[in-house]
């Protein structure tokens, strides 16, 4: 089968940084709870005129410049970031592709949430394997969901770590290094209606009443039910997704060298690290950015590579979960094949 490798990554974070103290002031939650339990020292906030397409373009431009790429040589541009974009019913990928100068690219949207990175890598790899004339795919993801937070809504408090940022990754077919291996995912649709922006769709179209009732912010339908349900299955499903990806890659969980996951509360993060049996020092934790929809795992990998933490031969696991509810993982082998 055709090999696909992750040739490069790059990221962009907005200039403004909202500290844990500011989150505490906005939400009424004590600062020590934000830092210790939420695991958040601060997060980046996009400028008022800085939208998802702008964030994605900046990350991609950085990658293109660093790799000295000709944008016209890119075959596929795939956007997989937040579903909340510049416009309500709209695809970001064609606009991002046009702005980058990827004039010959097929622009496609994998419009998803927090499980985005491992699933997008799986989808893009499949595209390159299936289409022999395509050689390169540029993946871009961005999040601006800090603007969807109502800090006065107690039901949504677990999302107060949501911040803004973007990441890009370049996949290359017929590669001989940084090879993408297998993926695995698990979906439990019983949680599908729990987390959403209630208004703006066909169920509750925008109206003066929906605005007055603050229904255009992220909300949780039944926090107690969601928490109790996720507490029963989440850790188990994270491990199952990880094990599935690794075993389908002809490896074992004990072989995992580095894990890049999503930002979550500290106790869940620690539980996953323990369950996977990975050295805590070899797991990314984005306590200075918070959670950014599908951005987190690829950002964690970008940082780890730039800081020299990933070594040739490392089996890297990109692990995520997102409302829907889906747990997903993709494995890759770093360095020469």
Q: What is the pLDDT of residues 119-143, one digit of tens each?
A: 999 999 999 999 999 999 999 999 9
Strand partners, 332: 180, 316
Specify whether the CB–CB gap between 85 and 53 falls below 8 A: yes
pLDDT tier at 110 (50, 70, 90 boundaries)? confident
Distance of CA 294 to the CA centre of its chain: 2
Q: What is the pLDDT of residue 122?
A: 97
pLDDT surpasses 90 at 111: no
Side-chain half-sphere CA neighbours of 181 within 13 A: 26
Report the chain's mean pLDDT, rounded to a whole number.
97
Average pLDDT over residues 156-165: 97
Average pLDDT over residues 247-270: 97
Q: What percent of the chain has pLDDT over 70?
A: 100
- Distance between CA atoms of 73 and 55, rounded to whole angstroms? 22
User: Per the omega criterion (within 30 degrees of 0), is the bond before 325 cis?
Assistant: yes
Average pLDDT over residues 150-170: 97
Second-level CATH architecture of 181-336: 3-Layer(aba) Sandwich (3.40)
The DSSP output letter for 37 is: T
- For CATH 3.40.47.10, the residue range(s) in the chain are 4-176, 181-336
Q: What is the tens place of the pLDDT at every residue in 235-258?
A: 999 999 999 999 999 999 999 999
- Distance between CA atoms of 121 and 156, rounded to whole angstroms? 29
State in words which class domain 4-176 has. alpha beta
- Distance between CA atoms of 67 and 162, rounded to whole angstroms? 30
> What 3-state class would DSSP assign to 290?
coil
Backbone dihedral angles phi then psi of residue 236, each to the nearest 5 degrees: -60, -40
Backbone dihedral angles phi then psi of residue 256, each to the nearest 5 degrees: -65, 130
- What global pTM score does this model have? 0.96
Backbone dihedral angles phi then psi of residue 311, each to the nearest 5 degrees: -115, 155
- Joined together, the tokens standing for residue 237 give 């499903």
């Amino acid at each position: 089968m055709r090999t696909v490798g992750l040739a490069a990554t790059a990221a962009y974070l907005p200039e403004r940084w909202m500290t844990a103290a500011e989150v505490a002031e906005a939400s009424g939650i004590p600062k020590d709870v934000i830092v210790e339990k939420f695991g958040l020292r601060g997060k980046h906030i996009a400028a008022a005129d800085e939208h998802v397409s702008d964030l994605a373009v900046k990350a991609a431009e950085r990658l293109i410049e660093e790799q000295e790429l000709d944008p016209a040589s890119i075959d596929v541009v795939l956007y997989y970031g937040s579903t909340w974009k510049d416009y309500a019913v709209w695809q970001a990928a064609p606009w991002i592709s046009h702005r980058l100068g990827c004039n010959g690219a097929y622009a496609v949207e994998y419009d998803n949430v927090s499980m985005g990175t491992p699933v997008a890598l799986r989808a893009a790899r499949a595209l390159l394997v299936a289409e022999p004339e395509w050689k390169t795919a540029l993946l871009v993801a961005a999040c601006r969901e800090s603007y969807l937070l109502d800090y006065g809504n107690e039901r949504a408090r677990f999302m107060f770590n949501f911040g803004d940022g973007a990441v890009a990754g370049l996949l290359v077919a017929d590669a001989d290094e940084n090879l993408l291996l297998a993926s695995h995912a698990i979906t439990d649709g019983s949680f599908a209606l729990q987390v959403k922006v209630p208004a703006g769709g066909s169920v509750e179209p925008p109206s003066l009443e929906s605005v007055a009732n603050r229904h255009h912010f992220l909300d949780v339908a039944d926090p107690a039910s969601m928490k109790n349900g996720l507490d029963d299955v989440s850790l188990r499903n994270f491990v199952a997704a990880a094990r599935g990806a690794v075993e389908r890659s002809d490896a074992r969980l004990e072989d995992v060298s580095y894990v890049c996951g999503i930002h979550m509360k500290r106790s869940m993060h620690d539980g996953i690290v323990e369950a996977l049996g990975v050295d805590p020092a070899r797991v990314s934790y984005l306590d200075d950015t918070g959670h950014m929809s599908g951005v987190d795992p690829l950002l964690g990998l970008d940082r780890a590579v730039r800081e020299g933490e990933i070594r040739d031969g490392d089996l890297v696991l990109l692990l995520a979960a997102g409302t829907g509810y889906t747990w997903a993982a993709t494995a890759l082998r770093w360095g020469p094949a």
